């Protein structure tokens, strides 16, 4: 008798909201195929309600994340790198299957992504030295300026895993919480990466990942009154105007720079706070 | 026994106001097609006739600024640009009293403030930014950061010349040229500043000033020749600008509205605190975007604080802005007075309790007595909306966290104040307050070295300090 070929246990792709992996409340999915048009996965097609849930989770988590010491945030980002190192193979397989990259190329991108987390991790306790100041005002006052996180930030990603990681790490290192919108096949490695986040000591809700259609999700995010910033670098230029127009309602900060491995991408989602205090006896 | 103050009037003979003014374009004054009057809000006397800028005026000004940028200003070294700014700073100091008197006549604010705050800060802003002009490589924006080109700048009426300085000084220091639109009711000091540019021999077209109203400003914002917009004004107009430029590559800094909280803890130095609250809300008639317009006081000291505050408010001298004894001048315009009255009436209607000291307000001009509302809840309009007048809303809190939550509970995030004798409590509170500028045991202090600007719906970007330069520069190569 010939033994049966083992049937592989395949993963159900879900969303990552508030540290948990729920399905879309809408029950919607979309199909990801590989280069040979073979089935790869059915990621969730997130709804507007899923987005609202993710923003609620992000808002609730944000002050605690911002209040964590910079040392602690740096260690947690480094921990993400450690966990990703352990899962590198699986993420690379996802990149190959869903985005058609050669195994070598896919592995290279994951390696670079791990190093990118390490690079951003080191920024957490240096931002104040670079972006802050003590200001020599003409009077008996002690006056200083410090950078602070903006709040809840949305990033959009599609096609490039490394750019997704760069935008995400830049937004989160300063103390923002993030709602990530992922389109297309990138959902496959991104949701594996969500499992990295779930095991990396990152508090629940600090990073939330929604998969679906950017054409659907971006306008909802742009007009959401409790989202403070939006990284739209990967959105086609012709589609940005409508987002910026609806984001004006709460004077959302839009970042279009797309710089990778840059402190400018971090500070794009930071505010400067200036404090005066009298000097005297 | 009461002490009366004899009037101590500053002479207005130092200023010569022309019967009418044109726009300042390409180094000279150009007559506008339509004129409108500018008034002294303390007397309603017409001071002069100002030109109402139209699309064609904006076109000419932008053309002049573009030419000046490409032909002269962008070719000049930072060192030489800086020397022009130093010249301007020095001339402003020389003519400081003239500017102070003119500002008081046109705006209605007390001479004590224009003389001691506005105009000295104006000169300081030019002096500070002059020094940056040849040091931009050290501004944290990489090697050789570059100017945008032509900056369109729109300023409000509450600090007319100071807002001009906040806008023009960094723009010129970083190598941009400027088209500036002053506020409709307060153009005179900007037009006098044009003369300073002439005296400083600033190259033609580097600074252009087009006077007018909202339509003039809208024409400037939408002009394709502008690369950068700097606006100070209401959050409503700020959002309109953000929408108007959404489909363009224009960059914008927006300094918008506020509903500043003055947070007073039970251990605050009470007499000092009372002075700080007075300065926070009655400085400049409360026409201050960062005014401490909400007093949020710990419940167990509220009665004593309010009693002392009322006592102090009775000593505020409201009257002729040119009188050196005057604390509270005129409201800037009939429209603004109507807005203050409307919002105050909503306070009455919604159940807050209004109190004002006895004041003899003149029949002529626009006046509003210093006003205190107690029993204000967070849902009241006077706790949420910017009144932009001498009206203080008082709320109370029990626990420190409740105080912070109330302070942060508006869509704005421009300023806040903290009053306490305990250092650790002050630092705790300043960490938790979501505002761009926080004054601890003081209020309403400004300095060119100190970045200013808001969180949330109070705006985009900072003005002043190294941070303010980023608004006018494209990053250079990473060093």
Among the partner-chain residues B256, B440, B475, the one whose CB lies closest to the CB of A276 is B440
Interface of A with B in 116-145 (CB under 8 A): 130-131, 133, 135-139, 141, 143, 145
Phi and psi at A269, nearest 5°, equal -115, 45
Nearest to B78 by CA among B27, B25, B145, B154: B145
pTM score, whole prediction? 0.96
Rounded to whole angstroms, the Cα distance separating B90 from B94 reads 6
Q: Which two tokens stand for residue B339?
A: 């807005």
Average pLDDT over residues B161-175: 98
Instruction: Give the per-residue pLDDT at B374.
Output: 98
Percent of chain B at pLDDT exceeding 90: 97
Reply yes or no on whether the pLDDT at A117 is more than 70: yes
pLDDT tens track for B226-280: 999 999 999 999 999 999 999 999 999 999 999 999 999 999 999 999 999 999 9
Q: Which residue has the tokens 């950068």?
A: B228
**Is A276–B445 a contact, with Cβ atoms under 8 angstroms apart?**
yes
Reply yes or no on whether the pLDDT at B1 is more than 70: no
How many interchain CB pairs under 8 A, A with B?
101
Which value does ipTM take for this structure? 0.96
Mean pLDDT of all residues belonging to chain A = 97
Chain A: residue nearest B241 by CA? Answer: A248
Among the partner-chain residues A145, A248, A251, the one whose CB lies closest to the CB of B465 is A145
pLDDT tens track for B77-127: 999 999 999 999 999 999 999 999 999 999 999 999 999 999 999 999 999
Backbone region of residue A205 per phi and psi (left: phi > 0; alpha: psi in -120 to 50; beta: other values): left
Instruction: Give the per-residue pLDDT at B464.
Output: 98
Rounded to whole angstroms, the Cα distance separating B249 from B246 reads 8
**Is B450–A271 a contact, with Cβ atoms under 8 angstroms apart?**
no
Average pLDDT over residues A206-223: 98
Sorted by where each begins, the domain ranges of chain B are: 23-256+456-474, 261-440
CA distance A244 to chain B (A): 5
Interface of A with B in 262-281 (CB under 8 A): 262, 264, 271-278
pLDDT tens track for A57-89: 999 999 999 999 999 999 999 999 999 999 999
pLDDT tens track for B362-394: 999 999 999 999 999 999 999 999 999 999 999
DSSP assigned state of B39: E
Instruction: Give the per-residue pLDDT at B434.
Output: 98
Instruction: Give the per-residue pLDDT at B479.
Output: 47
Instruction: Give the per-residue pLDDT at A130.
Output: 93
Active-site hit among B103, B113, B197, B289: B289
Annotation: CATH topology of A32-278:
Aldehyde Dehydrogenase; Chain A, domain 1 (3.40.605)
CA distance A248 to chain B (A): 5
Annotation: CATH topology of B23-256+456-474:
Aldehyde Dehydrogenase; Chain A, domain 1 (3.40.605)
pLDDT tens track for B346-361: 999 999 999 999 999 9
Phi and psi at A209, nearest 5°, equal -125, 125
pLDDT tens track for B33-59: 999 999 999 999 999 999 999 999 999
Instruction: Give the per-residue pLDDT at B478.
Output: 67
Nearest to B367 by CA among B3, B6, B11, B40: B40
Q: Which residue has the tokens 């019967």?
A: B19
Instruction: Give the per-residue pLDDT at A1.
Output: 60
pLDDT tens track for B284-340: 999 999 999 999 999 999 999 999 999 999 999 999 999 999 999 999 999 999 999
Nearest to B118 by CA among B150, B155, B172: B155
Q: Which two tokens stand for residue B241?
A: 């600008």
Q: Which residues of A touch B452 (CB under 8 A)?
A: 274
Annotation: CATH topology of B261-440:
Aldehyde Dehydrogenase; Chain A, domain 2 (3.40.309)
Task: Report chain B residues touching chain A, CB-CB < 8 A.
Answer: 124, 140, 235, 238-239, 242-243, 246-247, 254, 256, 411, 426, 430, 435-442, 445, 447, 449-453, 455-457, 459-460, 462, 465-467, 475, 478
**Is A278–B440 a contact, with Cβ atoms under 8 angstroms apart?**
yes
Mean pLDDT of all residues belonging to chain B = 97
pLDDT tens track for B188-198: 999 999 999 99
**Is B435–A141 a contact, with Cβ atoms under 8 angstroms apart?**
no
Instruction: Give the per-residue pLDDT at A2.
Output: 67
């Amino acid at each position: 008798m010939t033994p049966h070929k083992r049937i592989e246990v395949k993963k159900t792709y879900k969303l990552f909201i508030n540290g948990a992996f729920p399905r879309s409340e809408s029950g919607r999915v979309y199909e990801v195929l590989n280069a040979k048009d073979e089935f790869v996965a059915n990621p969730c097609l997130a709804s507007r309600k899923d987005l609202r849930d993710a923003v609620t989770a992000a808002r609730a988590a944000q002050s605690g994340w911002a209040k964590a010491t910079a040392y602690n945030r740096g260690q947690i980002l480094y921990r993400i790198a450690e966990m990703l190192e352990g899962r590198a193979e699986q993420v690379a397989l996802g990149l190959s299957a869903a985005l058609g990259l050669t195994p070598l190329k896919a592995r290279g991108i994951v390696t670079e992504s791990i190093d990118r987390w390490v690079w951003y991790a080191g920024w957490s306790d240096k931002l104040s030295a670079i972006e802050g100041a003590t200001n020599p005002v003409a009077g008996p006052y002690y006056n200083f300026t410090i950078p602070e996180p903006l709040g809840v930030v949305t990033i959009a990603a599609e096609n490039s895993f490394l750019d997704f990681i760069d935008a995400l790490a830049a937004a989160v290192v300063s103390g923002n919480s993030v709602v990530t919108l992922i389109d297309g096949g990138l959902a496959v490695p991104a949701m594996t990466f969500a499992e990295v986040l779930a095991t990396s000591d990152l508090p629940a809700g600090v990073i939330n990942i929604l998969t679906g259609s950017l054409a659907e999700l971006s306008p909802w995010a742009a007009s959401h009154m409790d989202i403070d910033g939006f990284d739209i670098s990967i959105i086609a230029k012709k589609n940005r105007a409508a987002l910026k127009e609806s984001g004006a309602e709460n004077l959302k900060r839009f970042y279009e720079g797309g710089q990778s491995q840059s402190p400018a991408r971090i500070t794009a989602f930071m505010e400067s706070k200036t404090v005066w205090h009298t000097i005297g006896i | 026994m009461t002490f009366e103050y004899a009037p101590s009037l500053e002479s207005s003979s130092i200023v010569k106001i022309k019967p009418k003014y044109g726009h300042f374009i390409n180094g000279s004054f150009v007559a506008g097609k339509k004129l409108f009057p500018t008034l002294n809000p303390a007397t309603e006397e017409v001071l002069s006739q100002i030109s109402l800028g139209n699309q064609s005026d904006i076109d000419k000004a932008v053309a002049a600024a573009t030419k000046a940028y490409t032909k002269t200003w962008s070719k000049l070294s930072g060192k030489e640009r800086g020397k022009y700014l130093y010249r301007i700073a020095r001339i402003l100091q020389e003519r400081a009293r003239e500017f102070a008197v003119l500002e008081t006549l046109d705006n209605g604010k007390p001479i004590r403030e224009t003389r001691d705050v506005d105009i000295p800060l104006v000169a300081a802003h030019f002096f500070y930014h002059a020094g940056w002009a040849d040091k931009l490589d050290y501004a944290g924006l990489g090697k050789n950061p570059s100017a945008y080109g032509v900056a369109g700048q729109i300023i409000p009426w509450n600090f007319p010349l100071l807002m001009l300085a906040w806008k023009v000084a960094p723009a010129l220091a970083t190598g941009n040229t400027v088209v500036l639109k002053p506020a409709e009711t307060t153009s005179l000091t900007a037009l006098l500043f044009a003369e300073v540019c002439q005296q400083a021999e600033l190259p033609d077209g580097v600074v252009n000033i087009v006077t007018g109203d909202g339509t003039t400003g809208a024409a400037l914002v939408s002009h394709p020749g502008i690369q950068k917009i700097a606006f100070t004004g209401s959050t409503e107009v700020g959002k309109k600008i953000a929408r108007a430029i959404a489909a363009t590559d224009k960059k914008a800094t927006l300094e918008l509205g506020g509903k500043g909280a003055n947070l007073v803890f039970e251990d605050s130095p009470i007499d000092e605190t009372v002075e700080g609250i007075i300065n926070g809300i009655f400085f400049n008639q409360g026409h201050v975007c960062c005014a401490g317009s909400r007093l949020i006081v710990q419940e167990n000291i509220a009665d004593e604080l309010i009693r002392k505050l009322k006592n102090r408010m009775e000593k505020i001298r409201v009257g002729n802005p040119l009188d050196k004894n005057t604390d509270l001048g005129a409201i800037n315009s009939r429209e603004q007075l109507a807005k203050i009255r409307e919002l105050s009436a909503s306070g009455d209607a919604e159940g807050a309790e209004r109190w004002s000291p006895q004041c003899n307000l003149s029949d002529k001009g626009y006046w509003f007595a210093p006003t205190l509302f107690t029993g204000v809840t967070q849902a009241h309009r006077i706790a949420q909306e910017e009144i932009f007048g001498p009206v203080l809303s008082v709320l109370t809190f029990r626990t420190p966290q409740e105080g912070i939550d109330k302070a942060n509970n508006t869509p704005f995030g421009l300023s806040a104040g903290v009053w306490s004798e305990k250092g650790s409590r002050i630092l705790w509170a300043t960490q938790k307050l979501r505002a761009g500028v926080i004054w601890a045991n003081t209020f309403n202090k400004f300095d060119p070295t100190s970045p200013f600007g808001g969180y949330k719906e109070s705006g985009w970007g900072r003005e002043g300090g190294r941070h303010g330069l980023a608004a006018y520069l494209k990053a250079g190569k990473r060093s």
